[in-house]
Structure 1
Amino acid sequence: MIIINRPASISMDDDFLPEEKRGVYKAIYSRRDVRAHFLPKEIPDDVLFRILDAAHHAPSVGFSQPWNFIIIRDKGIKARVKELFMQEFERSSSMIEDEQRKKKYLSLKLEGIMEAPVNICVTYDPNRFGPFIIGKSSIPETGLYSVCCAIQNLWLAARAEGIGVGWVSILSNDKLKEVLRIPEGIVPIAYLCLGYVTHFESIPDLERAGWLSRLPLEDVLYFEQWGNK
């Protein structure tokens, strides 16, 4: 039996205390996609399960809870996943025509598979409690979106615990399913690297590297209908 030690201060009261509000916003604004700075320090089981319990309490369409979490610590399995990453990294670099852009891309640190003490694959089961799920009949993708909500919960809870998370999306899902023995019908959504880190960067890696910058909020806002600024 897994024992979940949730923070004792959690209250179900409607109002957040000022320090609680600050904690929520601090986790959101200081969360980073971590690819480096991992420490060789194990994540205690009680901390890991607390983070996963937060993920498991994410909202889901029709309360379907369509996620599973594969915890990976084995170095041999990590090495096989790292090989998959390298294959896709090289393939994706061939899509960049501009040589300077390609050189910058190849210089980026985009994963921490071997360095992170724990890897987690988050999967989606589209048939859990199926075939009819409230809310999926018009937009079937809401099941997948639910898994993304669980990933965000995991990410924010990890940040609150001082643990970095990196999402490795440069992978072949078909090959990943073979390595992790994921059955037919189950879809890998995220391959995550978790671990304590030396520090969290103040600016996201890709922004610091000059790859892209964060858009101003007003650039992504419309009012009432598309296009209305």
Structure 2
Amino acid sequence: MPDQDHRYSDAEIEALWRTMRERRDMRHFLPPTLAKPLPDGLIERLVLAAHLAPSVGFMQPWRFIRVCDPALRESMHAQVDAERQKTAAALPSRNDEFLKVKIEGIRDCAELLVVTLMAEREKHIIGRRTLPEMDVASVGCAIQNMWLAARAEGVGLGWVSFFEPQALGELLGLPEGAHPLGILCIGHVPAFYPRPMFEDTGWGKRLDLTQILFENRWPESAQPTPTAY
């Protein structure tokens, strides 16, 4: 019989689990003047990690823009800060507390990428006829790959979603149909957070498995997910 033991070694499995446990959405970065240079080829490796992600119908909907222009970085920061203020104003409570939470590291990080959905993605039907949002799910898988690869290399990555997509798209000259999903801040960090930052600052906690794993049907006893505001 053919060898059916496709299992990785215990050390390899533990390394994978460690990377998942210690992955963090980073907002605090060492400015380039205080940090050593990023490893050679890191950005290309992170984009390759993203490109290895699964995608529905093999559509590969991810596109990346590497932002190297300091003026463009400042304009993006202004858009994000404007949305931060609007988010705080929309919170029914804790708005002042929210404003004290750092949500991005656009000015400090060594590298800045914008991840967008491709243009003309509506032409891809396989797996999307009834669930067109699966292109967004595919990009989420790509970013998770980047997060894990960055953490394994000791580099922080933060996903910023505080922006108005149309305004950011116009700033970056995106073609019609392309849609920005995230600003990715990448760089060395003072330390990785011991827990997710929003958990550490009292905005929520990781749910117990009993709250997210059901059998056969949605139970009547299931409790609604607590909100962070």
What TM-score comes out, normalization by structure 2 length?
Answer: 0.87
8 Å Cα contact 1:34-1:166 kept in structure 2: yes
TM-score by length of 1: 0.87
- Equivalence for 1:142: 134
Displacement of 1:14 after TM fit? 2.8
- Which of 30, 45, 49 is the aligned partner of 2:44? 49
Listed one character per residue, the Cα deviations across residues 49-104 of structure 1 (whole Å, up to 9, x for unaligned) are 11110110000011111111111132211100010011111111111233xx1121
Tell me what 1:9 maps to: none
2: CA distance, partners of 1:159 / 1:182 = 29
Shift in alpha-carbon separation, 1:44–1:87, aligned structure 2, 3 A = same
The equivalent of 1:82 in structure 2 is: 77
Structure 2 partner of 1:113 = 106
1:147 and 1:51 map into 2 onto residues whose CA distance is 14
Matches of 1:142 and 1:103, distance apart in 2: 35
**Is the Cα contact below 8 Å between 2:29 and 2:109 reproduced in 1?**
no
Give, in whole Å, the separation in 2 of the partners of 1:84 and 1:225: 43
Residue of structure 2 in register with 1:35 after alignment: 27
What are the equivalent positions in structure 2 for 1:88-99 lying under 5 Å apart?
Answer: 88-98=83-93
> Over aligned residue pairs, what C-alpha RMSD do you find?
1.7
Q: Name segments (4+ residues, structure 1) moved above 3 Å.
A: none
Alpha-carbon distance in structure 2 between the residues aligned to 1:169 and 1:224: 34
Q: Does 1:183 align with 2:175?
A: yes
Partners of 2:41 and 2:29 lie apart in 1 by 23
Instruction: For 1:67, give the aligned amino acid.
Output: W
Gaps of 5+ in 1: 1-12
User: Which of 119, 123, 138 is the aligned partner of 2:116?
Assistant: 123
Q: Distance in 2 between matches of 1:119 and 1:37?
A: 12
- Please point out which of 205, 209, 217 is paired with 2:201: 209
Alpha-carbon distance between aligned partners in 2 of 1:49 and 1:208, rounded to the nearest angstrom: 32
1:197 Cα deviation from its structure 2 partner: 1.1
**Inter-partner Cα distance in structure 1 for 2:211 and 2:123:** 40
Counterpart position of 1:221 = 213
Shift of 1:131: 2.0
Q: Give the superposition deviation at 1:37.
A: 3.5
Aligned-pair identity in percent equals 38
* Alpha-carbon shift at residue 195 of structure 1 (Å): 0.5
Give the count of matched residue pairs.
Answer: 214
Gaps of 5+ in 2: 222-229
Deviation at 1:39, TM superposition (A): 4.4
Q: Are the aligned partners of 2:46 and 2:149 in contact in 1 as well (CA < 8 Å)?
A: yes
